[in-house]
Amino acid sequence: MKLSIVGIGPGGQDYILPLAQKILADADIIIGYNYYFQFIEHALKSDCECIGKELTEEEARAALAVNKCEKGKHVVVISSGDAGIYAMASLVYQYASTQPDKDIELQTIPGISAFIASAAKLGAPLGHDFCCISLSDLMTPWVTIEKRIHAAATGDF
């Protein structure tokens, strides 16, 4: 049983890393936010099963991915940008840890985050220490986000 969490970049084929494309081409089942499939369809084998979910269903995607794992199958969860940033990968690992009876080979494949792609278009704005804070309150309470913003502002980034 193999389960990969793949960052597909900020949108467009040019931003999907070659390693991510290789993993996508090997997938038997891909689970992700409906909107993201348009960016990867070129890389998929013809018999790949694609399961789309809505934007706020991250925890359901993680559980579905782990539950779909079976011997001889490669399940992939896709995330925009980098799956390790903003929690998609951590949700999958967390849910997988609650299923000790499944011997799942887990891996995370990095992706290019939108903040890095945007910075490159601007030139070199991240040339020194910087801080990246998600302003999404889908999975993090706004009070926590405000504390992080304040801490970053006082941290002289």
List, for residues 58-97, the tens digit of each pLDDT value: 999 999 999 999 999 999 999 999 999 877 999 999 999 9
pLDDT reported for residue 80: 93
What is the spatial distance between Cα 35 and Cα 43, in angstroms, rounded to a whole number? 16
In the predicted model, is pLDDT for residue 123 greater than 90?
Answer: yes
Who has greater pLDDT, 141 or 55?
Answer: 141
Q: Which residues contact 23 (CB under 8 A, 6 or more apart)?
A: 4, 6, 76, 109
Range from 35-39, 75-79, 124-128 carrying the lowest mean pLDDT: 124-128
pLDDT reported for residue 12: 87
Question: What's the pLDDT band for 55 if we cut at 50, 70, 90?
Answer: confident
